[in-house]
Amino acid sequence: MTSQSLTFALEGVNCAGCISKIENHISQRQGVMLARGNATTRRIRLVWDPAHQTANTLADQIRALGYGALPFHPGDAMLKEPSMLPQLGLAGFAMMNIMGISFAVWAGVGTDMGPGSMQFLHWISAALATPVVFYAGAVFYAPALRALQHGQMTMDTPITVAILVTFAASVFETLRGTHHVYFDAVTALIFFLLIGRVIELVLKRRSGDAAENLRNLMHIEARRELPDGAIERLPADQLYPNDIIIVETGERVPADGILLSEHAQVDESAISGETLPRDVDRAEAIAASAIVFAGPARLRVTHVGEDAQIGKIAQMISDASGYKGPMQKRADQFARSYIPLVLGGGVLGFVIWYVFLGASFADALMIAVAVLVVTCPCAAGLATPAVSARAVNLLMASGIVVKSGDALERLSNISAVIADKTGTLSAPLPQLFMCDEAIQKEAAKLAIGSSHPLARMLCADLQVVPAAGLSEKPGRGILASNGARLGSAHFVGADQTVDHPALWYCSPEGQTYCFSFHETPRDDLEYLIHSLRDQNLPLTLLSGDSHLAVTAFAQKHGIKTWHAAASPQDKLRFLQDCLSAGEKPLMFGDGINDAPALQAAYVSVSFASATEVAQITADIVLAHPDPKLLPYAIATARDARHLIGQNLWFSAAYNIVTVPLALAGLLSPLIAAGLMSASSIIVLANSLRLKEPK
Amino acid sequence: MTAIIYLIPISIGLGLCGLLGFFWSVRTHQYDNMESDAFRVLSAEDVPLSDQERSILCDPENRS
């Protein structure tokens, strides 16, 4: 039996439940052999019998459930880095076994374990540690080596040195038959560092998947008009600039283009975040991925593929993730200054003991290793994640999802807040502003026949019967057989214009009325503005909306700085300028147009109801569109930073005391292990003091 | 104490079996899609797979 298969990228899928719903629905269709969704990449793989179904009928089935489905064309990005799970598993397995054996050895040192048994246990540990060091640890050696070839040092450099020196010394001591072996320390170091790397990789992959699904928005079918007037269907990536294309109502525009028809109305929410359809006249530009609301639209293609605006946004997101350097740079700066000190300390200890104090080579090497082990940033390493884990859990309970401990740390350091307007500080759709209820009821009888967002808003809470003989003039308005009209000012014959979204109604008697829609701020916006003022964070409005609308909104709510009519590029540039000027801006936004800025910002916040790309690029996602959560998150992050500071001071003090002791050759491995555990427990206990801010 | 000479290698050998099982599960992409399977187990029908369904599921192309 023959079968066809295809992967679809899904839109509007927020959880595994949605995926499961689609799977169930599709797998019950006749001829469908496989429907397997992936909630992480938001894609679904379908296999079907071509006798019963086609890719189009299946895509329609998914759309009928209220989700978007587009055939997914894997790009080169599909060649993924291998996962580090096998390395992690191996390191964890070896670490736990070696720890068990180490306890026996430590207990044996103080009692009567014979040298033969001790030697045997050391050899077992060595056998377990060897694959960890040479297979799992290789994750750190390759980047360290690459950096070294360029004369640089990164955090991987000391890790590599510590692992290799400690391992070599331990093997050497095992051969000599002493008990100064540190196979447990080496494997534990590799295991815990790998956990961090695996989490980092998972997060990176998620944002990569989002960018790829976004690029996929461009991979749709187009209808090209040939010179003889015939229409040819072809995949959108085979379009060229200057081709003439036709886009029907309800379809997505496959490439950036110039409108050749007299008039069209498009929903560009994917690009601009603007939820109301935009009127487009002849010779105006329409961006790829816009949905034609009232058409058909005849376009001359100007930009295709990666050059199209949406391709550029996808590109900007991946570029901006490379730009997000300050944090990484700081870690490397730390490595550059702290690491040579550690290495130098080890070398110094060796030289002093071997050359000047006449110790044996092995004793001197052991002292050097003791210095390296004791400075191994265990307490310092726990200082931050222990507090972060506690804070992330606290915030999660209030509906604030922090994607990494790193994001929390950055959140506590912000110096400014930059927010998008529409959909972020204000409700996504404008609300109907005071009107005569009787007239609203009359108008709703017409509005109920239209799918325009404003019309739907007009009849939202009203139970009305549709007027007789409704006919919709797409992009202009709706008309009943009794002569009543609802639509644009021009359509109903009113000669006024207003500067805000409005619907005009003309009664059968010829009387015209205007329904005004005003942008409404989110509940608790005032609270947000006051809280940010109390927290000493200036708020800047960065909106793609018109100067008039943004200025009015900012002045009404006492926001002192604002930038209007900002394109995604402008927003990105603004954030980058802020960063270059030494600011640490928090970006708060919800649209695809905010995504590059969200990615570039020092730290970024979005909503669970925002576009998928915004959610995935943001560091922090608020479960409810409630601006009140933001000051709460900032306060918690600042408390956490305070505790992290205490922990770091403590671990620094610990090093200041223990390093000289190790250099003096006074620390036995047993005492060092005890000190290390005690310092870790103190750090953990201190972290639990984090409470909800008042 | 001589017992440890074979008991410890045996216990590590057993652990290695578990580790090999883990390697196998990673290699067969069982950690690629953690969320959906948790839901699928609730909604799937309790019927054994047909040979054809099994071959489709085992095709590496179809692993989501």
Is A89 close to B23, i.e. CB distance below 8 A? yes
Is B52 close to A1, i.e. CB distance below 8 A? yes
Is A39 close to B43, i.e. CB distance below 8 A? no
Do the domain assignments include residue B15? Answer: yes
Q: What does the alpha-carbon distance between residue A517 and residue A501 come to, in Å, rounded to a whole number? A: 5
Q: What is residue B24's predicted lDDT score, i.e. its pLDDT?
A: 93
**pLDDT higher for B61 or A640?**
A640
Is B64 close to A3, i.e. CB distance below 8 A? no
Longest dimension (CA), chain A: 111
CATH architecture for residues A400-426+522-638:
3-Layer(aba) Sandwich (3.40)
A585: part of which helix (H) or strand (E)? strand A585-588
A512: part of which helix (H) or strand (E)? strand A512-518
Phi, psi angle pair for A486, to nearest 5°: -140, 130
Take residue A14 and report the two structure tokens written for it: 């927020």
**CATH 3.40.1110.10 residue spans of chain A:** 431-518
CATH architecture for residues A431-518:
3-Layer(aba) Sandwich (3.40)
Structure-derived torsion over alpha carbons of residues A51, A55, A60, A63, reported in degrees to the nearest 10 = 140
Do the domain assignments include residue B48? Answer: no
**Burial of B37 by CB count in 10 Å (0-12 exposed, 13-18 middle, 19+ buried)?**
middle
Q: What does the alpha-carbon distance between residue A496 and residue A516 come to, in Å, rounded to a whole number? A: 13
β-strands A561-563, A539-542 pairing = parallel
Take residue A312 and report the two structure tokens written for it: 């550029």
Cβ atoms of A454 and A501 closer than 8 Å: yes
Whether A420 sits among the annotated catalytic residues: the reply is yes
Contact residues, chain B, for A90 at CB < 8 Å: 19
pTM above 0.80, yes or no: no
Q: Is B45 on the interface with A (CB under 8 A)?
A: no
Amino acid sitting at position A388: S
Q: Is A25 on the interface with B (CB under 8 A)?
A: no
**Closest CB from B26, B39, B52 relative to A86:** B26
Note the pLDDT tens digit of each residue in A320-332.
Answer: 544 433 444 444 5
In the stretch 83-102 of chain A, residues with CB closer than 8 A to chain B read 83, 85-86, 89-90, 93, 97, 101
Q: Is B28 on the interface with A (CB under 8 A)?
A: no
Cβ atoms of A163 and A189 closer than 8 Å: yes
**Burial of A317 by CB count in 10 Å (0-12 exposed, 13-18 middle, 19+ buried)?**
buried
Query: Number of C-alpha atoms within 13 angstroms, CB side, residue A521?
Result: 19
Do the domain assignments include residue B25? Answer: yes
Q: What is residue A219's predicted lDDT score, i.e. its pLDDT?
A: 55
Q: What is residue A79's predicted lDDT score, i.e. its pLDDT?
A: 42
Coil vs helix vs strand at A202: helix
Contact residues, chain A, for B57 at CB < 8 Å: 34
Cβ atoms of A288 and A233 closer than 8 Å: no
A479: part of which helix (H) or strand (E)? strand A477-479
Contact residues, chain A, for B8 at CB < 8 Å: 101, 121, 124
Query: Number of C-alpha atoms within 13 angstroms, CB side, residue A345?
Result: 25
Cβ atoms of A190 and A136 closer than 8 Å: yes
The position carrying tokens 């550029």 is: A312
Q: What is residue B60's predicted lDDT score, i.e. its pLDDT?
A: 64
Do the domain assignments include residue B64? Answer: no
Q: Which residues of chain A have pLDDT under 50?
A: 76-79, 321-331
Take residue A461 and report the two structure tokens written for it: 């809470």
Please tell me the class of the A221-307 domain. Answer: mainly beta
Note the residue count of chain B.
Answer: 64
Amino acid sitting at position A418: I
Q: What does the alpha-carbon distance between residue A491 and residue A475 come to, in Å, rounded to a whole number? A: 10
Q: What is residue A93's predicted lDDT score, i.e. its pLDDT?
A: 94
Query: Number of C-alpha atoms within 13 angstroms, CB side, residue B64?
Result: 28
Shortest CA distance from A23: residue in chain B: B40
Contact residues, chain B, for A47 at CB < 8 Å: 56, 62
Q: What is the nearest CA distance from B33 to chain A, expressed in angstroms?
A: 6
Contact residues, chain A, for B61 at CB < 8 Å: 5
DSSP 8-state assignment for residue A542: E
Report the domain count for chain B: 1
Q: What is the nearest CA distance from A118 to chain B, expressed in angstroms?
A: 11
Which of A420, A590, A594, A639 is catalytic? The answer is A420
Q: Which of A221, A242, A241 is nearest to A232 (CA)?
A: A221
**Closest CB from B16, B39, B53 relative to A19:** B39
Q: Which of A178, A94, A89 is nearest to A129 (CA)?
A: A94
Q: What is the ipTM of this complex?
A: 0.80
Write the DSSP assignment of A215-265 as a string of letters: HHTT--EEEEEPTTS-EEEEEGGG--TT-EEEE-TTPBP-SEEEE-SSEEE
Domain hosting B11: range is: 1-43
Q: Is A434 on the interface with B (CB under 8 A)?
A: no
Q: What is residue A489's predicted lDDT score, i.e. its pLDDT?
A: 76
The position carrying tokens 């998620």 is: A206
Contact residues, chain B, for A121 at CB < 8 Å: 4, 8
**CATH 2.70.150.10 residue spans of chain A:** 221-307
Radius of gyration of chain A (CA): 32
Q: What is residue A16's predicted lDDT score, i.e. its pLDDT?
A: 67
Shortest CA distance from A8: residue in chain B: B64
